[in-house]
Amino acid sequence: MELPWLGRHCSERTCRQLDFLPLKCDACGEVFCKDHIRYEEHSCSSAYKKNVQVPVCPLCNAPVPVQKGEVPDIVVGAHMDKDCKYNPTQQKIFTNKCLKPGCKRKEMMKVVCEQCGGNFCIKHRHPLDHDCKAGSRPISKAGYAALMRASQTAFKSTGAIAVPSNGNLQHNRCR
């Protein structure tokens, strides 16, 4: 051994490994290797001082106090049965209001227009259904290709729709 003063031996009686990066237990103050630093691995007698966890109720998000020796799952279950302040009728599910003027519908999830970025209900989700102001966001390549296909089939059948290079639909009949 060239440098016997470097490093420390693991305090675990069964290990005693020479470790050049020893770790000190924050509860008992002993020095351990990486394999024995956890409280359970070295049977730390002072672990109760540091290993304190407070479970949180999954319904009301309130911390539930647990006494020493009690099983947290059982205590949280008892809290949910008796003391929980959760009221499902106060939970708002439909919070995403449609931005189409005059529409009062709300959706559970956001339905965002890819062109203007507005949030709309299922009925007004398509750009043609909510008078989309697409100038604020450019149309995607896939959306432009779909508009081109739609305009070609509509033009072949009726000659009614033309799609200019900016991607906005214009009806020829109204001119």
Instruction: State how far the alpha carbon of 131 is from the alpha carbons of 31, 113, 124, 136, 168, in Å.
Output: 70, 11, 9, 13, 11
pLDDT in tens, 24-56: 998 899 999 999 998 889 998 888 777 677 899
Which pLDDT score is estimated for 174?
46
Q: Is 127 exposed, middle or buried (0-12, 13-18, 19+ CB in 10 A)?
A: buried
How much is the pLDDT for 11?
Answer: 92
Q: Tokens in use for 152?
A: 């070609």
**Mean pLDDT over the full length of the chain:** 79
Express each pLDDT in 54-111 by its tens digit: 899 988 888 998 887 788 889 999 998 988 888 766 666 678 899 989 999 988 888 8
Contact 40, 25 (CB under 8 A): no
98-145 pLDDT, tens per residue? 998 999 998 888 888 888 888 899 999 888 888 887 654 455 677 777
